[in-house]
Amino acid sequence: MESLPNKLVLVGDRCIKNQSLRNQVNKLSPLFDICFSDTGIEYAGCIDEGQYVIFVYDDFTDDVFERLSSKQGCIISPQIVHSATEMTPPILVPRRRPLYNHALKDQVICFTGFTDRSQVSQLAALVHYMDGTIRKEYTIPTSLTWWPITARERSTRRRSVLVVRL
């Protein structure tokens, strides 16, 4: 059985009309069928058929984003496409969660003292969109989490912890 091609879908007017983004996406064309859509919903069915579909969308707050998220599609922002195409070879790593940028990469965030669970859920989603990690409690192992591979990598692989208290 022949495998179905992977798709990279530029969603929304701003992404479709962004010439810089389109140039970067062209670097990925050997890996993906490049598609364009106003909402991306018509490509959500491809996920059910076993295709790997990445949606590139720049607004993580509107209804289109919510609908794409509910379909379990991989959603990334143009910033992620830019960082992926600067690698050699260009790599887009599959994720379950939407990814807007890498601002909190290798950061561990602990929320303490919050009584409103919905508020913590919203904050946790924002941290995940920025490639951060959430921990329930601030503990010694959480604060000392790092995994040096060599002495040279210690400074680059260390995780820092931010505790957010209400």
| pLDDT (tens digit per residue) in 44-89 | 877 767 778 899 999 999 999 998 888 777 899 999 998 888 876 6
Distances (CA, A) of 99 to 1, 78, 125, 165: 32, 10, 10, 25
Residue (of 8, 98, 86, 93) closest to 53 by Cα position: 8
Mean pLDDT, residues 16-42 taken together: 89
Tokens of 73: 């599609």
> For position 140, what pLDDT does the model report?
59
CA R_g for the chain: 18
pTM score: 0.76
Mean pLDDT, residues 109-117 taken together: 82
> For position 107, what pLDDT does the model report?
84
Least confident stretch, 90-94, 106-110, 112-116 = 90-94
Mean pLDDT, residues 146-151 taken together: 40
> For position 4, what pLDDT does the model report?
55
- Average model confidence (pLDDT) for the chain? 78
Mean pLDDT, residues 13-27 taken together: 92
Q: At what angle do helices 41-48 and 63-70 cross, to 10 degrees?
A: 10
SS3 63: helix
SS3 161: strand
Kindly state the percentage of the chain with pLDDT values over 70: 73
Kindly state the percentage of the chain with pLDDT values over 90: 28
Q: Cα–chain-centroid distance for residue 138?
A: 25
pLDDT at residue 155 is higher than 50: no
pLDDT at residue 93 is higher than 80: no
> Distance between CA atoms of 34 and 25, rounded to whole angstroms?
8
| Virtual torsion, Cα 134, 8, 11, 56, nearest 10 deg | 30
Q: DSSP E strands: which ranges in the chain? A: 7-11, 33-37, 53-56, 74-76, 107-112, 133-135, 160-165
Q: Which domains does the chain have, with CATH numbers?
A: 7-85 (3.40.50.10190), 107-165 (no CATH)
pLDDT confidence band for 135 (50 / 70 / 90):
confident
Distances (CA, A) of 72 to 27, 81, 132: 25, 19, 20
> For position 139, what pLDDT does the model report?
64
